[in-house]
A = this chain, B = another copy of it.
């Protein structure tokens, strides 16, 4: 089988991830506060690791658009909490019924369904609490629009409705641009909005994020076929098992890889011509294309 090269994340990503992990720990309720079980469950899921892609994107956009101060970390953490909430609910037995996530048993496997349900709800709520602490309602609207029934939830419904039947490329694209794309898109937009970016920069980071979000999902589909369970931290082959709509299933592996590369090149070009110091954006795009988990 063709294996993709396995690079480590670039230093700028590792450093940003460490900073984000620090703020996650700081903003999450501690485990000694009532209801302890719920707070333990929340930390079990959130602190299980993860690429922290969405917060890193928000932070990168914020810095690139000249933002300063602590405010961005509230939003960055909020984005990771939304991502985690969506994974927890998506893993539940009535949804994808998955057993493994980020290399550990899924939350409902460890804490039961009721706690997993409420932990997802709690993260959803805490995310908006943190967003409100930014004092910026435009940024809150960006998030709410991205994850509602016009965004992420539309993707989840489409994904559910699509199971077991073959899809057109347009249908696969709809699912992916909504289920994962919208939150990735809103991550850079929220960073830019909080930095007070002008319309031109906001448009550039948005187009960049749409391209890398799309590439991200193509790679996700490829990894479900080619990845290994240990690196990935979740089962491989689950898309095929669940008759999920994927790019390789519709356009083949080689064409999927070519398209991911093309999208990455386009994203790099867009961001390089709009942002003075695009290095971190470029490294993120390149890393997404080569990622192994």
- List residues of chain A with CB under 8 Å of any chain B CB: 29, 33-35, 37-39, 42, 89, 92, 94-95, 112-115, 117-118, 120-122, 124-126, 128-129, 131-137, 140-141, 144-145, 147-149, 153-154, 156-158, 160-161
B129 touches A117 (CB 8 A): no
B141 touches A132 (CB 8 A): yes
Q: Which label, helix, strand, loop or mixed, suits the secondary structure of the A interface?
A: helix
B153 touches A121 (CB 8 A): yes
B140 touches A132 (CB 8 A): yes
* Contact sample, A vs B, 7 pairs, CB 8 Å cutoff: A33-B149, A35-B149, A94-B113, A121-B124, A122-B149, A126-B144, A132-B140
| In-complex Cβ contact of A124 among B38, B95, B125, B158 (8 A) | B125
Taking A89-B121, A125-B147, A129-B144 as given, write out 19 further A-B residue pairs in contact, using a Cβ cutoff of 8 Å, ordered by the A residue number: A35-B153, A38-B149, A92-B117, A94-B112, A94-B117, A115-B157, A117-B117, A118-B153, A118-B157, A124-B124, A125-B148, A125-B149, A125-B153, A128-B144, A129-B141, A129-B145, A132-B140, A132-B144, A135-B137
Nearest residue (CB) in B for A116 is B94
| In-complex Cβ contact of A153 among B38, B112, B132, B148 (8 A) | B38
- Chain B neighbourhood of A39, CB < 8 A: 149
- Chain B neighbourhood of A115, CB < 8 A: 157
Closest 6 CB pairs of A and B: A94-B113, A129-B144, A35-B157, A132-B140, A128-B128, A125-B148
Q: For the complex formed by this chain, how many copies does it contain in all? A: 2
A221 vs B131: C-alpha distance when bound (angstroms): 36
Q: How far is the CB of A121 from chain B (nearest CB, A)?
A: 6
Q: How far is the CB of A248 from chain B (nearest CB, A)?
A: 25
Nearest residue (CB) in B for A148 is B125
Nearest residue (CB) in B for A158 is B35
- Chain B neighbourhood of A112, CB < 8 A: 94
A137 touches B132 (CB 8 A): yes
A144 touches B125 (CB 8 A): yes
- Chain B neighbourhood of A137, CB < 8 A: 132-137, 140
A42 vs B150: C-alpha distance when bound (angstroms): 14
| In-complex Cβ contact of A37 among B37, B144, B157 (8 A) | B157
- Chain B neighbourhood of A154, CB < 8 A: 34-35, 38
Q: How far is the CB of A213 from chain B (nearest CB, A)?
A: 19
